[in-house]
Structure formats: structure tokens, C-alpha cells
Amino acid sequence: MIVIALAALALRISIHEIVRLSIQQNQSAAQNTLKLISIAMENYSKNNKGVYAENFLQLTQATPAYLGRNYVKDSPVRGYDYDCPRMDAAGYSCIASPDHCRLSGEAVYSVSTGGLFISESCDKK
């Protein structure tokens, strides 16, 4: 009986650690993806006289491509959904939010024109 209780406790601790590590990996991937999108947008702007891309096709189908994939279309990616509610010639704003708050991620990240990066708890959304 004691052996079973100890095994159950060890299993619970192991599962908690696996979920925690998964969340950390998802959050790191989301931050890096938004930074990648921002760099692609800023480089596109530099190469197009200050005009930003108005859609992901301009970033993914350019030669050479500024971005390897359309993260908004491919969402969810590693537990996060991506959206760019603003993509126009004057700037951009993109958001990464977890599929399930506290399960796939604990923070919502956003990046906007100029590379301004913001992070807040997913509980606030």
C-alpha cells in the first residue's frame, strides 16, 4: 500500500514537471516566433522604402523569402495561436496567445511596429 502511494506521488510530481517544461518550451517558441515575424516585417520595410508588408504572402513568397511560413494560417503552433490584427503599409501588430491558458502557456505576447515586444499573463485576456 505504501509502495503504491509513493509511486502515485512520484508520478504526480513527474507529470507536473513535464507540463511545466512543456509550457516553458511553448512560451520560448512563441517569443522567438513573434521576434522572427517582427524581424521579417522590419526587413521588408527597409527593403521597400519604409512600406510594411500588408499580408504574409508578401513575406513568404518574396525572393528570397523574409519568412519561411505563415504562422497565422498554420496556427496553432506549439500550443500557441498567432494573429496579426494589423498588417498594413504603415505598420503591424501581431499576437501569440496560448491555446489553453495555464496548460499550453501562461503568457500572451505581442509585437508591434518597431519591434516593441509586450508580455502579459494569459489570465488577463
pLDDT in tens, 70-83: 999 999 999 999 99
Residue ranges of alpha helices (H) inside 48-116 are: 56-60
∠ Cα 110 39 96 (to 5°):
25
- Asked if 82 and 72 touch (Cβ cutoff 8 Å), the reply is yes
Which comes out higher in pLDDT, residue 8 or 110? 110
Looking at residue 19, its pLDDT comes to: 86
* pTM across the whole model: 0.88
**Average confidence score pLDDT of the chain:** 93
- Asked if 75 and 81 touch (Cβ cutoff 8 Å), the reply is yes
Residue ranges covered by each domain of the chain: 2-124
